[in-house]
Structure 1
Amino acid sequence: MNMLIIYTHPNHQSLSYAFLEEVIRGSRENAAVHDVKILDLYEEGFNPVLVFNKNKRRRDMHSDPELEVYREQLRWADKIVFVYPIWWGRPPAMLMGYIDQMFASGFAYKDKGKLLPEGLLKGKSVVCISSMKGPALYPLFWLNNAHKILMRKALFQYVGIKQVKFFEFGNMESPRGRQQEKLNKVYRYFKSLAG
């Protein structure tokens, strides 16, 4: 399988970066993973700001030449892995800006005049690895699982991706957060991942 890892954190000394390293390490030790590409949105200088005006229309975003390299990465990937922190109950604005631009009509889905569109990214799968300062059950009990619902239903299912796996780790700034245990869990998952 071809794997695209989309990393979204401005600090390479962060726990998010440690998770990225474990994804890479596990994937490189897995014979089912043919190739791995990494997109570091901050290092890349990705511009998350949407611009629409008389020269740049929203309905043409699926063919914006400035975004073609990113569309090609998504076309190429069998598995898309997102590594990011949870800030204010949701992914960072940088990642949301990427999603706003990349999962555009005409590329990720096609309106068919029905209740739901036709997802154009069928056959791909996603893994989301996120960490947060708050307790592990905070998103479930306080936010009604908003993060997972946003990612799974409002985004991935909408564009035809049905297989979505979450690693959502809480208490990550606590000395009792069992960070190494969680890093090992991610490494083992990617090392044993079937194609």
Structure 2
Amino acid sequence: MKTLIIYTHPNHNSLSHAFLQRTLQGLHDNPHIAELDIQVLDLYAEGFDPLLVFNENKRRRDMHKDPALEKYRNQLLWADRIIFIYPIWWGRPPAMLLGFIDRMFASNFAYREKGGLLPEGLLKGKSVVCVSSMKGPTLYPLLWLGNAHKILMKRALLRYVGIKKVKFFEFGGMEKKQGKQAKNLDRIYRYFRTAAQ
């Protein structure tokens, strides 16, 4: 089970970074996973450029073969499972992660148009786990935003590129003193310590 963790938070003293550390600890303690089968892509530390540029020299139809993105394409193709770790800001993932998605999930790499209603997903067979935290209550995205975060990630993005197996951990109230941070960090550790796939 080759696992790619895509971590998106600018502060390494954040709760998101604590989730990253507990995820890694769980994976390293998991007897089903070898250490060589884990890669971490820290978008901020990497200096990833999330800006789309289209002009006479950079055409949208050529995004899937942009040489500047080859490393990231290889990581996505290598992975059997992708773990996204990020905060929820304004009801959705950070702009850095959305910019990564804009640039990486390109036509003829992540999907291929077939002339029908939906394209052929080229990343099928992979699984995804989304680990996110937010200041607001856990039920805020569901009751107030119509589940927009999960719809965006699962239906609008992942299913479109062929990824059907998606699991969410959405932790709310994380800035409260009694926000169950330790309990949720332990939950993430235990999940990845025992998850075979």
TM-score normalised by structure 2 residue count: 0.98
Alignment-derived partner of residue 3 in structure 2: 3
Distance in 2 between the 1:102 and 1:30 partners? 29
Aligned-pair distance for 1:36?
0.5
Provide, for residues 85-140 of structure 1, a one-character-per-residue CA deviation record: whole Å limited to 9, x for no partner: 00000000000000001111000000000000000001100000000000110000
Query: Unaligned regions of 5+ residues in structure 1, if any?
Result: none
Q: 1:148 aligns with which of 128, 147, 150?
A: 150
Aligned-pair distance for 1:176?
1.3
Give the fraction of aligned pairs with identical amino acids, expressed as a percent: 68
Alignment-derived partner of residue 44 in structure 2: 42
Alignment-derived partner of residue 60 in structure 1: 62
Alignment-derived partner of residue 28 in structure 1: 28
Runs of 4+ aligned structure 1 residues displaced above 2 Å come to none
Q: Answer yes or no: is 1:81 the counterpart of 2:89.
A: no
1:7 maps to a residue whose letter is Y
Aligned residue-pair number: 195
Aligned-partner SS, 1:31: coil
Alignment-derived partner of residue 128 in structure 1: 130
Aligned-partner SS, 1:24: helix
Alignment-derived partner of residue 18 in structure 1: 18
Provide, for residues 47-78 of structure 1, a one-character-per-residue CA deviation record: whole Å limited to 9, x for no partner: 00000000000110000000000000000000
Distance in 2 between the 1:58 and 1:142 partners? 35
Aligned-pair distance for 1:20?
0.2
Aligned-partner SS, 2:100: helix
TM-score normalised by structure 1 residue count: 0.99
Aligned-pair distance for 1:31?
2.0
Q: Give the alignment of 1:102-181 within 5 angstroms.
A: 102-181=104-183
Distance in 1 between the 2:33 and 2:115 partners? 38
Query: Unaligned regions of 5+ residues in structure 2, if any?
Result: none
Alignment-derived partner of residue 72 in structure 1: 74
1:6 maps to a residue whose letter is I
